Amino acid sequence: MTIISVVCVPEGIAMTADSRLIGTYTRDNGVVECFSFSDYAQKLLLIRNSTVGVSFCGVALMEGKTVADFLYIFDMKQVKKTDSIPEIAEKLKDYLFYEYSHNKAAFYLAGFDHDIPYVFLVSKNSIIRKNFHEPKTLITYSANWLGETEPISRLLRDTTLNFKLMPLKDAINFAEFIVETTIKYLQFADGISTCGGPVDSLVITRDYAKFLKHKILQPYE
């Protein structure tokens, strides 16, 4: 399983992901057991000439490829540097539907086009813009998370947060808090700890996209 988060505030967008990859094993008696396969899966990447962030949760493999490899191929074959983020979201949905329809995966797609922030939740069946209020045609600011959502959803159920006034640094800290708290919670919960490993953190503004934490590019303890 996975925990990924994206926090959108006026100054920019923060994206964070864990790194644990869970495998399954079916015993002769039919019982399916889960185990931690790796703590170094790449679940947060940059595409479109390193200007758009993508994170994902769901299946570990898609047609024999890791989801990270799937995204590299998608970026190389399908994405043009002139594509808008809504166009990339449509391409990703269609690519999933027509080429990988048997796989269950969901993706956060985030970035800026002409100073306008976009945060999409994309699957093979739908595209949902998470930072836009359709009736009033207004850009909205919020935090979203996917995967093992219960710990943070329970913790923040009655908490009011003003994302419209939140500085970007606080958004980064909050995105990391969502992932790190979920990892720590699951360490003590009954059953396998389905989230873990290094936490990758990406910040996207109108001017740049940069990894603040990256298990490969910037190894850390």
- For residue 26, what pLDDT is reported? 80
Q: How far apart are CA 101 and CA 96, in angstroms?
A: 6
- For residue 150, what pLDDT is reported? 94
Question: What is the pLDDT tens value at each position of the chain, 221 positions in all?
Answer: 799 999 999 999 999 999 999 877 788 887 877 778 899 999 999 999 999 999 999 887 888 888 999 999 999 999 999 999 999 999 999 999 998 888 889 999 999 999 999 999 999 999 999 999 988 789 999 999 999 999 999 999 999 999 999 999 999 999 999 999 999 999 998 888 899 999 999 999 999 999 999 999 876 55
- Whether 219 maps to a domain, the answer reads no
Distances in whole angstroms, Cα of residue 119 to Cα of each of 54, 77, 192? 10, 22, 31
Exposure on the CB side of residue 151, measured as CA atoms within 13 A:
22
Report the CATH number at residue 59: 3.60.20.10
Distances in whole angstroms, Cα of residue 218 to Cα of each of 22, 92, 189, 202, 204? 24, 28, 30, 12, 17
Alpha carbon dihedral 133, 7, 161, 132, in 10-degree steps, equals 0
- For residue 4, what pLDDT is reported? 98
- Whether 41 maps to a domain, the answer reads yes
Identify the domain containing residue 147 by its residue range: 3-206
- Whether 212 maps to a domain, the answer reads no
Q: How far apart are CA 21 and CA 184, in angstroms?
A: 16
- Whether 218 maps to a domain, the answer reads no
52 CB burial (10 A radius; 0-12, 13-18, 19+)? buried
- Whether 213 maps to a domain, the answer reads no
pTM: 0.93
- Whether 217 maps to a domain, the answer reads no
- Whether 215 maps to a domain, the answer reads no
- Whether 80 maps to a domain, the answer reads yes
- For residue 219, what pLDDT is reported? 66
- For residue 220, what pLDDT is reported? 58
Q: Are 117 and 52 in contact (CB under 8 A)?
A: no
Q: Looking at the 3D structure of the chain, how many domains does it have?
A: 1
